[in-house]
Amino acid sequence: MKEHIEMTDDELIEQSFQELITDYLSTKHRKRVEIITKAFNFANQAHKGIKRQSGEPYIMHPLAVAKIVCTEIGLGSTSICSALLHDVVEDTDYTVEDIENLFGPKIAQIVDGLTKISGGVFGDKVSAQAENFKKLLLTMSNDIRVILIKIADRLHNMRTLGSLAANKQYKIAGETLYIYAPLANRLGLHRIKTELENLSFKYEHPEEYKQIKSKLQATAAEREEQFRAFTGPIKDQLDKMGLKYQILARVKSIYSIWKKMETKHVPFEEIYDILAVRIIFEPRKEDEELNDAFDIYVSISKIYRPHPDRLRDWVSHPKANGYQALHVTLMGKDGQWIEVQIRSERMNDVAEQGFAAHWKYKDGGGGEDEGELEKWLRTIKEILDDPQPDAMDFLDTIKLNLFASEIFVFTPRGEIKTMPQNCTVLDFAFSLHSDIGKHCIGAKVNHKLVPLSHKLQSGDQVEVLTSKSQRVKPEWLTFVSTAKARSKINALLKKEQRTLQRKGETLLNEFLLAEGIRPEVVNMDKLLQAHNVASKEEFLTLIGGGKIVLADVDRNVLKSKQGTNWKKILSFSFGKDGKENKNAAANEEEPVEKINPKKILKLTDDTLQKNYVMATCCCPIPGDDVLGYLDDNGKVIIHKRQCPVAVKLKSSYGNRIIATQWEVQKNLSFLVHIYIKGIDRVGLLSDITQVISWQLNVNIRKVNIETIDGIFEGKVQLYVHDVDDVKELISKLRKISNVKEVTRVEE
């Protein structure tokens, strides 16, 4: 240990490089140690003397990324070299041409792709964020290794996130959860996806992370015994079949457990699927892999009763990311359902390493292994063809594709089409062609007439019906679920809106000219106020569409001098440089505190009342894990860290995120919503209100409880000081006889 502490930087770097070479030599790739050594020496020289935020030499980061690429994703020398060189062009004076001259065009192309998307997916401005993400997706279609190395880069950044400031941690963790984890999942990198989720959760919700981790450790021995008892008879059966296999216990990830606790509103103790079992077998013959998987399923189903609705066959129909396995849920002797995943060694490699593992098993290039990936990339390219001015819309649109599970539907001619789960007839129409989607009026599904919003099921046969008179409608966005359909509808609506705006502008100018009124900003503000419309664009659209007709009322509004707010219209110049002070009028009324995003914001009783706004989407209270978001007006809005709105803000406006810390006394009250459910009995409501009002002295705002067939459920709105009050309240309510479920909800 002492020797390790006294190691010089050079010794530490050399040791790390030797570990990389050892890992590489143990793979099945052809041994190109010389070019890896050359890339390491070049990168080491280029980054010499530069330190990371943690204090270690910068080259340790490219070395760590190269190790992940080699051992955890399973890529070869080209990718390892690219990982070692991935920051050289970005951070030093070397160019892509230099890389090409020394290492050839393929490595240079990958390094160039990585340089274009450097600095995280997102920059400081919204438009740059969308552009960077587009670049990231476009580089995937040139060489999938670019995104695989980028994911490895993000994984190492997450593993070393502790050395950064808190607001940076929230930005990077939020971005990881919103984009990188789904990307890793889509590319079949399940192990990396799970680690990215867990690390993001660890930095966003440190207390919950520690609690779940400690509960998992406390129940480990119990799970080990359950695993031993459950798998004993299975091992005996597989031995009789003469198979070579291994049986592993798979424990649900900390993030997945928390997610289930949040969505199902249950405590840790009521999560029953923490343990799953994985059987990895070696096929008896190369072409018997599929038969062996089903033989194992049949034989273990004779030992334990299978759940009739929970057989998942991804052997015959692989997922879009190449994942293959049989999933069956069996009831153990203790009455608990346990999921068993059956995979061959090849299937397991693909599940762990994703598309990279395909290259290990295919002969020569191409082949149908990457067919689904190509299909996905093609869809993304189509989305990129449509300009998306709003980064948030763009990210949401892409995210629809990242998370989609697949179903299989048929055309009238019997052709099979892969579609995302929960897709509608309209989604299917747009997947065939934009013109078919635009003119779709309905469909015949299994020969029965259905509307545009009808959700398709696996195995449906779909005949799309169209009409030339059909036009795209805004309400279509409420039921489409695919990225392509949403993107096309938005583009068509915007095109139509621009046409209406041009028409509206012509009508407005004609009206003003006829009345002898100048088209000034002040006059436009008067019209917007009179018609209660938020923006000029919306106003022109309504005029162009005939929903607003300019008349005598508008003439009177424009010629009236009342209602003009001169403070807003006039601008003032101050100081020696004579620059315009746009905030003068606002500052005259109330000074706005200057916020430094790098410092931790203290939330005190005084500042909460004066300076900050509590987000209505998630209603945070003292004790919740929260963050601040600096809006366009300089106001700080406080969100819960797991709030869906906050997740998007972290991903798209990372530079405006502020780390916050509660420092409040029990003086202020905050509204919370408590959901409660149980078996009805006489006097139950009285017991509930007595606990809330008398025992805990909490002020109730509203109670809404109803009973159906002996089961009562409802919500109580009440005022508390902080999270501790909520925990005590929930604990006491759960102790009331016949109360089965109590949890805090958003609304």
Active site residues: 90-91
d(CA 648, CA 626): 14
Q: Say how many C-beta atoms besides its own lie within 10 A of residue 290's C-beta.
A: 14
Residue 637 φ/ψ, nearest 5 degrees: -100, 130
Which tokens in the block code for residue 319?
């997922």
* Helix or strand run (H / E) with residue 440: strand 440-445
Enumerate residues 6+ apart whose C-beta is below 8 A from 342. Answer: 279, 281, 293, 296, 297, 325, 326, 327, 328
Nearest to 208 by CA among 727, 742, 654: 727
What is the rounded distance in angstroms from the CA atom of residue 705 to the CA atom of residue 702?
Answer: 10
Rounded Cα gap, residues 97 and 103, in angstroms = 10
CA neighbor of 153 nearest in space, from 196, 92, 124: 196
Cα–Cα distance measured from residue 546 to residue 378, given in angstroms and rounded to the nearest whole number: 40
**Residue 412 CB contacts under 8 Å (≥ 6 apart), including other chains:** 461, 462, 463
Distance CA 15, CA 40 (A): 13
Q: Chain centroid to CA 365: how far? A: 32
* Gap between the Cα atoms of 172 and 170, Å rounded: 6
188: which 2 tokens?
């079949």
- The encoded tokens of residue 667 equal 């003086």
Sign for the CA dihedral angle at 444, 484, 382, 468 comes to positive
Distance between terminal CA atoms of the chain?
Answer: 54
Q: Which two tokens stand for residue 371?
A: 């067919």
Length of the chain (residues): 747
Give the 3-state secondary structure of residue 310.
Answer: coil
Under 8 Å between Cβ of 287 and 385: no
